[in-house]
Structure 1
Amino acid sequence: MREADETTRQRLADALRAEPATPNELAARLDLTPQAVLDHVEHVARSIEGTDEQFLVAPPACRECGFDDFDDLLNRPSRCPDCKSESVDEPTLTIE
């Protein structure tokens, strides 16, 4: 299938199968906004349920204190709830 014939979600799933990436990296690669990537990722994750693939999320993490127990794994928080630092990495997404 040619790239022009693929849907955004198919291109997103293919990118996640190829290598782990953050929402910002995927947004730049697929010419989307990071929020659009997160919206599509939810559908991609549901579409692979019941298959031999898994949608995996490495949670966001604070670069200052290492906190990574965020409530919503698919959202990049603006600051760390523990140390209040704004140095929080994005989640990393992949399909294996």
Structure 2
Amino acid sequence: MREADETTRQRLADALRAEPSTPSELATQFDLTTHAVVRHLEHVSRSVDGADEQFLVAPPACRDCGFDDFDDLLNLPSRCPDCKSEAVDEPAYTIE
């Protein structure tokens, strides 16, 4: 299938099969907003077949206190719920 024939979600899934990426990295690569990428990834995560592949998430983490127990892993937290710092790394996604 040619790249022009693939949907955005198919191209995102293919990129995640190649290497782990954050929403910002994917947004830059595919000329989308980070929030659009997150919405697409919600659908990609549901479409991945758990028997052959897994949609994996490296959770976001606070760079100040180390907190990484965020509730929604398909979200872009703006600050740490523990220390209220805004120094929060984005989650990274991959398909294996």
Same fold (TM over 0.5): yes
Q: 1:10-56: CA deviations, max 9, x gaps?
A: 10000000000000100110111111111111111111134410000
- TM-score of the superposition, structure 2-length normalised? 0.94
1:63 and 1:88 mapped to 2: Cα distance?
6
2:30 is aligned to: 30
1:44 and 1:84 mapped to 2: Cα distance?
30
The count of corresponding residues between Structure 1 and Structure 2 is: 96
Q: Which runs of 5+ in 1 are unaligned?
A: none
Residues 84 and 50 (structure 1), Cα distance of their counterparts in 2 relative to 1, 3 Å cut: closer
1:17 is aligned to: 17
Task: Look up the SS of the partner of 1:94 in the other structure.
Answer: strand
Q: 1:69-90: CA deviations, max 9, x gaps?
A: 0111111211111111110000
1:43 is aligned to: 43
1:12 and 1:78 mapped to 2: Cα distance?
23
Moved beyond 6 Å, runs of 4+ = none
- Percent of residue pairs bearing the same amino acid type: 80
1:90 is aligned to: 90
Q: Which runs of 5+ in 2 are unaligned?
A: none
Task: Look up the SS of the partner of 2:66 in the other structure.
Answer: coil
2:74 and 2:18 mapped to 1: Cα distance?
19
2:57 and 2:50 mapped to 1: Cα distance?
18
2:51 and 2:12 mapped to 1: Cα distance?
17
2:89 and 2:34 mapped to 1: Cα distance?
14
